[in-house]
Structure 1
């Protein structure tokens, strides 16, 4: 075979006949770039509308810098009075920690059951699968602070409402994460047990859970870390904990006490984060 021109190839077949092939230059298909251009244009327009609707303004931030300076001047130094601020803040932070703990652990049974039913590999029926997915989506879609407002009206102010709110929201989030982890396991052990006559519950208990237990525990620790932070916000709507003290300090213009409570929260969150990270590293090792 030899090349006659850049766009032509000439070849000789086995019977001696010659075959000439003309290569057409590639044509530019500029129309293929339209989806990308349309997407970029839509993003630009969406950001312009978002800036307008949210009244985002760097000028307003600069103009309000004086108020921020006055706020910081009133907050510094933090109020370290032991009896009136520091000790009540430590006690309230403990309540916040317990809200996050119970909101995580008490959601394990419902999350586990719904995760098994919401996984394609372990769900007993398509209707059960869709129903479980819908329940998880509902619990996940409603923010925990909305659940807290609902339960505050039902059971009154206090940490109990915060625990109930976290149980509901965490069931939706953790159930979804666990269901996806179950769907990613190796189907080999489950198929082997099914071949020897094991029922669905035996397959889940002896093949599914052992494969996914480490991943599920890691996700559980991650959710505990998140729930401790969420329980702080729930206190702002009356669900108890140190968030309630922060809210009271802001309303009474005691910004130095507010800063003390925020520093206590910072220490608590760092401690929880270090604890969760250490456990997850041990699991991964």
Structure 2
């Protein structure tokens, strides 16, 4: 019986990590483009730290005139009433957009669109409504129906259909295809599949997105008031024009209370939906 002796393990050299000069060049090129874009943006927007430092006296005078806020009964009553108008504008701008949003979301989702041209047309319309700011819609409707909350509601409805339609369409496309395929195999039509399989599956996501848009629309309705669409934004603009900065600060504090209340309500509803089996 012959032995071969103890076995020894031979170390193999670790091959060097392959270099990717092309990827490295592309990375440096992207970094250079980003830096150049920031340099151009900095110069175009005329950002100046010196101007901000030199303007401290004007900001100090502004704050001195705004503090303390005017908490008189008349100002608080007008501010609270206008804040409720702002809330109603955001509420109606959200809820009145639901029917059109649902229709365009079904047309703009690949798994529910009846034809390719309907899908492309719905996507194009949603992109247009989303691209036009709600302030621009408000200015258009103010010239059409006059000043007040009504043009603000119309502006939010138009813009919200574009934003929420895209979000709902993406939720429909990401839905579990199992229930829909089961109904199709049983002979169900497109509308039946959407009504009995697809929409029930994504309803929590759709409601969550709706609540998110409600939060955004309440804030947007404040800005719309600055262009004549009513609400507390109109009072803030009026206070600034009349140099009543103490009343302006009161209106801003009331807005803060309103936004916190809406956030808490939305969070409560989302938690309730999340705990519902």
TM-score surpassing 0.5?
A: yes
Tell me whether 1:219 sits opposite 2:209 in the alignment: yes
- TM score, norm. by length of structure 1: 0.91
Q: Rg bigger for which structure?
A: 1
Pair 30,144 (structure 1): closer, same or farther in 2 beyond 3 Å: same
Alignment partner of 2:22 out of 13, 20, 31: 31
Q: Which residue of 2 aligns with 1:61?
A: 52
Q: CA deviation at 1:281?
A: 1.2
Q: In the TM superposition, what are the counterparts of 1:196-215 in structure 2 within 5 Å? A: 196-215=186-205
Pair 259,29 (structure 1): closer, same or farther in 2 beyond 3 Å: same
User: Is 104-113 or 183-192 further displaced after alignment?
Assistant: 183-192
More strand, by proportion: 1
- Where do 5+ consecutive residues of structure 1 fail to align? 8-22
Specify which structure has the bigger relative contact order, considering alpha-carbon pairs within 8 angstroms and separated by 6 or more residues: 2
RMSD across aligned C-alpha pairs, in angstroms?
1.6
Q: CA deviation at 1:80?
A: 1.0
Deviations 1:3-48 (A, max 9, x none): 88856xxxxxxxxxxxxxxx97555333321111111111111111
Q: In the aligned structure 2, how far is the partner of 1:226 from the partner of 1:124? A: 31
Tell me whether 1:237 sits opposite 2:227 in the alignment: yes
Alignment partner of 1:93 out of 83, 104, 109: 83
Q: CA deviation at 1:86?
A: 1.0
Q: In the aligned structure 2, how far is the partner of 1:26 from the partner of 1:235? A: 61
Q: In the aligned structure 1, how far is the partner of 2:262 from the partner of 2:16? A: 63
Residues paired across the two proteins, number: 269
Pair 27,181 (structure 1): closer, same or farther in 2 beyond 3 Å: closer
Q: CA deviation at 1:222?
A: 0.6
Tell me whether 1:167 sits opposite 2:157 in the alignment: yes
